[in-house]
Amino acid sequence: MSREIIAILRGITPDEAIGVTEALIDAGISKIEVPLNSPEPFDSISKMLELAGENALVGAGTVLTVENVARLKQIGAQMVISPDANPDVIMATKASGMLSYPGVFTPTECFSALRHGADGLKFFPAFKFGIDGFNAVKAVLPKETKTYAVGGVGPANFADWQAAGITGFGIGSNLYKQGRSVADIAAIAKDMVASYDEAFGA
């Protein structure tokens, strides 16, 4: 099954890319993001894409410019994730055939992102927005809108967010940190998948 968990690998290096990608896919996490403020992110993404094939969606986070989008298209990335909802970035992403997940916090940002073609909305930082805030905004969004909580979310509150109607999650330092071993990442990922499956009835 394709779980709506996006692994955010901020700080990963090209040397780590293969081992971490294998561990995530084996655990059942098939959406992988390398933020562009990581060391040599395009090299890491290229390696991950070659390894993953059709077994995972691999893309970039912290994508702030149309130029970044163009380079991601060149290397075959499949999704673009941003901390903001820049219409130019969203439109360039869609024109390039990639999935677009911009960061939002207000209804104005949500609807602007959707009008410009976003595939899903990344509520960031989710721990500041809160489930109450999410419920208030979700009430006015189109029912088919895909929504992701990012920042301060993890297995302990998967069920609470699921009950509120969230589509999925972006998980960063709770899953990957610089210096964490592949074995530890694999164990954390497996526990996270088990919690997700329990919360979502998979």
In the set 31, 47, 122, 138, the catalytic residue is: 122
Question: What SS3 state is found at 106?
Answer: coil
Question: What SS3 state is found at 151?
Answer: coil
The torsion region of residue 142 among left (phi > 0), alpha (psi -120 to 50) and beta comes to: beta
The token duo for 163 is 């009950």
In the set 33, 47, 109, 138, the catalytic residue is: 33
Based on the residue annotation, tell me whether 122 is a catalytic residue of this protein.
yes
Rounded to 10°, the helix 14-27/182-200 angle is 40
Mention every residue, 6+ apart, whose C-beta is less than 8 A from residue 156. none
Question: What SS3 state is found at 150?
Answer: strand
Mention every residue, 6+ apart, whose C-beta is less than 8 A from residue 155. 191, 192, 195, 196
Rounded Cα distance, 149 and 180, in Å: 23
Annotated active-site positions, please?
33, 122
